[in-house]
Amino acid sequence: MSTTRRKTRVVCISDTHNQTPKLPPGDVLIHAGDLTNQGSYTELKRKVEWLEKQDFEAKIVIAGNHDITLDKPFFEENKASWKWPGFQDTEACRKLLTESKSITYLENESTTVRLPRRGTWFTVFGSPCTPKQQLADWAFQYEPNEAEKVWNRIPNGVDIVVTHTPPMGQCDGVGASRQQKDGRSGCPALLRRLEIVRPMLNICGHIHNGRGVETVQWRRRSSSLQLHGQPTTMDSGTLVSSVQFWNDPGASSKKLSLVDLTTMRARAGRGSGCDHTSLTRQLQPDSRCDHLQGQPDASFAPDQTGHKPPSGGDAKGEKLNPTASLTDVALRDSEALWGGSRGKAGGGGGLEHHDESDTGHGCPDEATQYIAERPRGMPPSGTEVARSQTTVINAAYLGPRVAGKTSVVYNKPIVVDVELPVWGSLDEPSEVYPQG
């Protein structure tokens, strides 16, 4: 029996930092962290109210390093480093999300999501964790020697992985010759785990000038690697055979920032060659270009309102500033405002192929092909899913600071069309089992 699939629209956003933008319609909303500037109860309450008003069948939310009160141990130890409008009850802050009737809040955990109206389903894992920064302490951070343990929590066979940090080298704004001025980049341990798990999507944020979409073609099959064992030190060049880069159709236009993965799957399913006639060649991906002293293409006209957010803003009546010791590395010069720019992308909205191994262009294997259908209640084994690629989406809403400009730019949410299995055509696993 073949699996029946149906197009499902996923709206991705991250790093809204107290903004409450108008969102395009879709079936699933995923927010990949940094809801607020520092996670006060007032900030979080306003953001949760905004999320609860959004009309989506499912709303998946994780925290980010700026949502400080959601990391209770960190907050209790470091709360004096920030100024607060009043007493902050971390349990009350967390309950805003954990007790919401319409929000699925994930913190290093996974779940299965059913969409009654669309009739499709998927599994998802979410984590707020990010690598520890050099210049300041933030919530949900881990040391390099803790990274493998953190990401081994991602279960084998999961469909969507939502992380605040991007993986190393993919949508992390870091080129071969430079690094973020605050020393940040994507996480290599996350990249290694993604190569083993091979989810359909990895939705992230955190590094704002990494905003964009990259579809990674993995170099080897997951079954050839140990799913349980000692971590490797393989780099992205060893793991990744090629990358397709997205040309944002919403750049400098009123169109949606759309990624259509259903057409890619259809081409692969037909076995025909990939059609690149509608794509404009990019010499570098958006997230790897050096500073060009200009505005990223994806941010020219984000919401038909220039450099102003379409709605919302900072929580009214609340001035949340770090103490003097953190002023230079917190809100004013945090990842919300670091400089950076992207190369100019061509029109279209497709994914452009970039082969890191110089083996030429070719149509990738079907990203979501299943080798075998699962019996009822059977958890994914990690070898049943024959995905050869993962699409990484950095959906940072707040743009980077541009040299010589004081205004902040707001990006559009990234809309992704995917094909998901229809409920009943392939029995869903009763749960997704974490590793380690």
Confidence (pLDDT) at 350: 44
Confidence (pLDDT) at 185: 85
Residue 216 has pLDDT above 60, yes or no: yes
Give buried/exposed letters for 196-224 (b at 16+ CB in 10 A, else e): bbbbbbbbbbbbbbbbbbbbbbbbeebee
Place of tokens 């949900």: 140
Of 76 and 266, more confident: 76
- Decide: 204 and 14 in contact? Cβ < 8 Å: yes
Within a domain: 436? no
Residue 64 has pLDDT above 60, yes or no: yes
| DSSP β-ladder status, 58-62 and 28-32 | parallel
| CATH code: domain of residue 311 | 3.60.21.10
Within a domain: 47? yes
Confidence (pLDDT) at 423: 86
Q: Containing domain of residue 408, as a range?
A: 5-421
Of 384 and 291, more confident: 384
76-80, 293-297, 305-309: the lowest-pLDDT one: 293-297
Confidence (pLDDT) at 226: 45
Within a domain: 256? yes
Within a domain: 80? yes
Q: Write out the DSSP string of 345-379.
A: P-SSS-EEEE-TT-----PPPPTT-BSSPPPTTPP
Confidence (pLDDT) at 134: 76
| Helix or strand holding residue 96 (H, E) | helix 90-98
Count CA atoms closer than 13 A to 150's CA, side-chain side: 25
Instruction: Taking residues 364-376, report their average pLDDT.
Output: 30
Within a domain: 434? no
Instruction: Taking residues 145-168, report their average pLDDT.
Output: 97
Q: Which of 140, 117, 116, 114 is nearest to 127 (CA)?
A: 140
Confidence (pLDDT) at 263: 77
Residue 286 has pLDDT above 70, yes or no: no
Residue 261 has pLDDT above 60, yes or no: yes
Confidence (pLDDT) at 337: 35
Confidence (pLDDT) at 194: 96
391 forms bridges with which residues in the sheet? 201, 215
Instruction: Taking residues 341-368, report their average pLDDT.
Output: 34
Confidence (pLDDT) at 385: 52
86-90, 146-150, 175-179, 355-359: the lowest-pLDDT one: 355-359
Q: How many domains does the chain have?
A: 1
**How much of the chain exceeds pLDDT 70, in percent?**
61
Within a domain: 56? yes
Burial of residue 358 (number of CB atoms within 10 Å: 0-12, 13-18, 19+): exposed
Angle among Cα 146, 36, 390 to the nearest 5 degrees reads 50
The amino acid present at 73, given as its one-letter code, is P
Q: Which of 373, 339, 242, 253 is nearest to 304 (CA)?
A: 253
Within a domain: 179? yes
Residue 373 has pLDDT above 50, yes or no: no
User: Whole-angstrom Cα distance, residue 110 to residue 433?
Assistant: 8
Within a domain: 171? yes
Q: Please list, in sequence order, all residues whose beta carbon lies within 8 angstroms of the beta carbon of residue 64, skipping any fewer than 6 positions away.
A: 14, 15, 32, 33, 34, 35, 128, 130, 139, 140, 164, 205, 206
Of 3 and 252, more confident: 252
User: Whole-angstrom Cα distance, residue 122 to residue 60?
Assistant: 12
Confidence (pLDDT) at 221: 58
Terminal alpha carbon distance of the chain? 33
The model's pTM = 0.73
pLDDT tier at 219 (50, 70, 90 boundaries)? confident
Confidence (pLDDT) at 75: 92
- Of the segments 51-60, 334-343, 350-359, 372-381, which one has the largest average pLDDT value? 51-60
Mean pLDDT for all residues in the chain? 73
pLDDT tier at 425 (50, 70, 90 boundaries)? low
